[in-house]
Chain A
Amino acid sequence: MSEKKPLINELTKGILKENPVLCLVLGTCPTLAVTTGVSSALGMGIAATAVLVCSNSVISMLRKVIPDKVRIPAYITIIAAFVTIVQMLIKAYAPTLNEALGVYLPLIVVNCIILGRAEMFASKNGIAASALDGLGMGIGFTAALFLMGSIREILGAGSWFGMNIPLLSQSPILIFILPPGGFFVFGMLMAAANKLNSVADKQIRGTDCASCPMSESCRGLDEEKECVK
């Protein structure tokens, strides 16, 4: 993608320009499911970032060894191994977080962000660039989750990190922490991101559709906006 650009670009692009959640629309399932509270959203973000950095580096290390035909199963195995490690660490050191994330923790394996970055970036770039790309994408993911979690917890439960907010906590808008609120907040955030992007830069979507694992399924998605540059 960018051999000549400085490495720092790999880190920063994931945070704003190519934010995996709001601009590339990857990893929507955990985004909606665990953002009922700020702390579980942050926990999910950090866990996914850890997996992303590790899997990106290892896949980049092995990119010349893995035969092209079996690359997807090989990537999934590597990712699943790191997810298992993270899962065991969280179970041991943060049991409450483990309970809050529940089944969504092992589901990081099928998070499209991780496989997507492996396929799009780590399989073509060096180790340092891939690790930074993973870190940047992870931070972008965490930031989006944090934002969604904050909005939903403040409006839906009247609290932030479990601390009550005066006035709001007396009659919270419960629907925001229920499933419909998740869809609604996500839609609104995406609309805001669209607006900001169209104002700032028309050429924001630098996605490489051909190598995106979801390309076949999102062909029916929004042709002119989401996936075509």
Chain B
Amino acid sequence: MSLTQLIGIFLAAILTENYVLCKFFGICPFLGVSKKLDTALGMSAAVTFVMVLATAVTWPIYTFILVPKELDYLQTLVFILVIAGLVQLVEIVLKKYMSKLYNALGIYLPLITTNCAVLGVTMLVLDKGAENPSFGYIASLVNALGAGVGFLVAMVMFAGVRERLEGCDIPESLKGLPITLVSASLVACSFLGFNGIVDRLIG
């Protein structure tokens, strides 16, 4: 797999396949913690980290253990346990050796287990690999990283939009989540504009 292709995968994962705005993964944290810029950044950094790590671990487990033993129907069960274990492990390691980062991420770390973006990425890269054999381990990792960065881009952009919303005069029943969803719809609209750009750029 050439470098250009890898860059293409990375950009596509951020823009055209944006996990939040185009695939609807991780909507709960997207709506929940995008109210302030710093929490949005902390959450997406943690998610990106776990996404790459989870893909790095689940890909070999699936390819070298589950498939040869014909246990691939256990995918869901194994992956969710691996992710839960990883999140726990990351938490312990960070607490011990990088307490600054640990404090910054705070409560967001344990919540990542139930973030469907992480489980979604680990499964989607395997689907892609099944369709296209050249989509190997490295490409999967790049895709996971791109998905994480895409999550970050969406969260940070949307945090900005939400800060502007606070001072607006909104009809009573639209206050709170409904208006947030409507503005998410507009942000998603802008991401639709990226369709096709990446393909043409990379050729």
A and B physically associate: yes
A221-B31 contact, Cβ under 8 Å, with A112-B114, A184-B185: yes
Interface string of A133-149 (1 = CB under 8 A from B): 00000000000000000
SS of A interface (majority): helix
Binary A-proximity of B59-79 (CB < 8 A = 1, otherwise 0) = 000000000000001111100
Q: Is A121 interfacial (CB 8 A cutoff)?
A: no
Contact of B101 with A by CB under 8 A: no
Residues of B within 8 A of A171 (CB): none
Interface of B is mostly: helix
Q: What residues of chain A lie closer than 8 Å to B178, measured between beta carbons? A: 187-188, 190-191, 194
Per the bound structure, the CA–CA distance linking A106 and B179 in Å amounts to: 30
Bound state CA distance, A179 and B23, in angstroms?
8
How many A-B residue pairs lie within 8 Å, measured between CB atoms? Answer: 154
Chain A minimum-CB-distance residue to B32: A217
A73 to B113, CA, bound (A): 10
Q: How far is the CB of B159 from chain A (nearest CB, A)?
A: 10
Cβ contact within 8 Å between A103 and B184 = no
Partner of B107, one of A81, A103, A107, A216: A216
> Which residues of A in the span 18-41 have a Cβ within 8 Å of any Cβ on B?
25, 28-30, 32-33
Contact of A187 with B114 in the complex, beta carbons under 8 Å: no
Measured CB to CB, the nearest residue on chain B to A222 is B176
Flag if A195 contacts B176 (CB, 8 Å).
no
Task: Decide if A180 touches B186 in the complex (CB within 8 Å).
Answer: yes
Residue A214 contacts which of B26, B32, B124 (CB distance < 8 angstroms)?
A: B32
List the B side residues contacting A77 at CB < 8 Å. Answer: 77, 81
CB distance from B37 to the nearest CB of A (A): 12
User: B47: shortest Cβ distance to chain A, in Å?
Assistant: 12
- Residue in A closest to B123 when the chains form the complex, CB atoms: A103
Asked if B81 contacts A76 (CB within 8 A), the reply is yes
Question: Are B173 and A194 closer than 8 Å at their CB atoms?
Answer: yes
Q: Which of B24, B76, B77, B192 contacts A32 (CB 8 A)?
A: B24
Q: Which residues of B contact A213 (CB under 8 A)?
A: 114
Q: Which residues from chain B sit less than 8 Å from chain A, CB to CB?
A: 21-29, 31-33, 35-36, 39, 73-77, 80-81, 84, 107-108, 111, 113-116, 119-120, 123-124, 127, 171-182, 184-186, 188-189, 191-192
9 sample A-B contacts, Cβ–Cβ < 8 Å, listed by A number: A33-B24, A76-B113, A87-B73, A106-B119, A112-B114, A179-B24, A184-B185, A187-B177, A190-B177
Residues of A within 8 A of B (CB): 25, 28-30, 32-33, 73, 76-77, 80-81, 83-84, 87-88, 102-103, 106-107, 109-112, 115, 175, 178-184, 186-188, 190-192, 194-195, 198, 213-214, 216-222, 224-226
